[in-house]
Amino acid sequence: MELTIVPPRESARRIEARGGQTLLDVLQQTGETVFAPCGGAGTCGRCKVLVRDAEGVHYCLACQTPAADGLHVLLEDTANVHVEGADGATGAPVRQGADFGLAVDIGTTTMVFFLVDLETRTAVETLGKVNPQVAFGGDVIARIDAADAPGGLATLCGLLRDSIDEAERALCAAAGISRARIVRRSIVGNTTMEHFATGLNPHSIGVSPFTPLSLFGSETALYAPEGGAGGQAAPELRAFLAPAAAGYVGGDITAGLVASGMREGDEMQLFIDIGTNGEMALGNRERAICCATAAGPAFEGASITLGIPAMPGAVSAARLTADGLEVETVDGAPAVGICGSGLLDAVACLVKAGVVDETGYLLDADEAAEGPCAHLAGRIGEEAGQTAFYLDDERRVYLTQTDVRKVQLAKAAIRAGIDTMVAEMGVSYADIGHVALAGGFGMHLNPASATAIGLIPPALDDRIRALGNTAGAGAVRCLFEDGQAAVAEVARACTYLELSTSATFNELYVENMGFEE
């Protein structure tokens, strides 16, 4: 059978499909970027695509829709997703005759590329894009499972390599230089992404004792599929891969710790990178420990009923007012969903107002009308059999009881990880000089909301600072020998704390399940 795929800003193309395939299967095999956090289980509702068939034009879930002859699939524009740290031209001059390096930050959801003048050590161009592997699931476990399917490893590795090739060509074109001028490359990413970048199977990271095939830390050949982007042969590339500390504390964290300066001073620093996993470190020049918690993808917008990436129309902030609740959206567009920063704010507001109690229970309209949050009762209704709180006046975007529970579980995991490290180091909150928030979510997170729900200890509220894309900054450092030496020292010095077998963590996880009052 034959389908027609219509990508944004590109010509339509016809694709052969086999009987029994879903639309998601077809999109995965053709390398199209479509968000499918649940990996095709039909539970997240994020792989909606617009189709045209004999019945007209309508939306459907790609993972639940059989491929059919003559079907047209119209894809959404993922270029609208905001990628932190990818701001295009930097204003730095492009020197004629200079040598350049390519620094790559491979995130589970997004990727950032930096074209760097190797003499001045400045980025002259940057580029951000969605990691095309999102079609295979929103977290690394889903990607590992996908890699175990027939042909899965080659597909996932090939998607990353094609993205690197495409980005490198685009950056060179923007800077007006030939690709031959790029003489050095560095890559940082979580341990699973670095496996995919080099063609290694990450299967062992997904099963106890979570041991990777490599911890990297040297120049390595990248995976080279037979055909690259656009059908062109993929050139042979080598890159320095930042060393990982463990299966779930990767090169993005060790590189980020170099950028944060943790190992350069006496002051104790708490470093937190909140994504699908909560990766954290605590230390100074004397000692350091690190850990990872399975926080789930809630703070990236995935697994939440109306969760979306940071794209136009995503609720990105919320605040209580005298009249009720006020929200902001990305680009000021009409609200269509909620991203991580908005989710954190919204839940904090509901807790502060008493619409969500300390146990995480979301009051229904009648219960709310009888208490101090009576002025918000009109925003409470029911969706799909659950109590729901509407964030916008048009009642397009809402949070359900299940959404609140997912935030509760995620924040408990991260807070328990913090408290476990504090206990392991034998220090107190008073000993921590500052809290460094890394990554896109950390950049837009409202510290007051994070402490209000107990995600970060309230005692540290005046010591929180956002560092932005530390992984990207570390990737640029890794283009140079001193940066490579620094990240190697961090990986060597950080003691990894395995939380899955920690009795302390399990106790603290339960203790931190409730919301701070």
Q: Give the span between the Cα atoms of 317 and 298, in whole angstroms.
A: 15
Band (pLDDT 50/70/90 cuts) for residue 13 is confident
Q: What is the pLDDT of residue 12?
A: 67
Q: What is the pLDDT of residue 303?
A: 76
Stretch among 27-31, 137-141, 282-286 having the lowest mean pLDDT: 27-31
Of residues 308 and 82, the one with the higher pLDDT is 308
421 phi and psi angles, rounded to 5 deg:
-65, -40
Q: What is the pLDDT of residue 81?
A: 57
Average pLDDT for residues 455-468, to the nearest whole number?
Answer: 93
The answer to whether residue 233 scores a pLDDT higher than 70 is no
Residue 425 corresponds to which tokens in the numbers above? 């180091």
Mean residue pLDDT across the chain: 88
The answer to whether residue 124 scores a pLDDT higher than 70 is yes
Band (pLDDT 50/70/90 cuts) for residue 229 is very low
Average pLDDT for residues 23-30, to the nearest whole number?
Answer: 81
pLDDT in tens, 66-78: 888 877 776 665 5
Band (pLDDT 50/70/90 cuts) for residue 10 is low
Of residues 417 and 441, the one with the higher pLDDT is 417
Q: What is the pLDDT of residue 301?
A: 66
The answer to whether residue 50 scores a pLDDT higher than 70 is no
The amino acid at residue 400 is T
Q: Give the span between the Cα atoms of 345 and 348, in whole angstroms.
A: 5
The amino acid at residue 187 is I
**Percent of the chain residues past pLDDT 70, beyond the cut:** 90
Q: What is the pTM of this model?
A: 0.84
Q: What is the pLDDT of residue 24?
A: 86
Q: Rounded to 5 degrees, what angle do the CA atoms 306, 308, 310 make? A: 140
Q: How far is CA 144 from CA 168, 324, 510, in A?
A: 26, 44, 29
Helix ranges, 88-183 (H):
140-147, 152-175
Band (pLDDT 50/70/90 cuts) for residue 36 is confident
**Percent of the chain residues past pLDDT 90, beyond the cut:** 60
Helix ranges, 148-267 (H):
152-175, 191-198, 251-260
Q: What is the pLDDT of residue 60?
A: 78
Band (pLDDT 50/70/90 cuts) for residue 281 is very high
Contacts of 184 (CB under 8 A, 6+ apart): 99, 100, 101, 102, 118, 240, 479
- What is the per-residue DSSP string for 353-398? HTSB-TT--B--HHHHHTSTTGGGGGGEEEETTEEEEE-STTS--E
pLDDT in tens, 302-332: 678 888 777 788 899 999 988 889 999 988 8
Average pLDDT for residues 184-209, to the nearest whole number?
Answer: 95
Q: What is the pLDDT of residue 23?
A: 82
Q: What is the pLDDT of residue 89?
A: 59
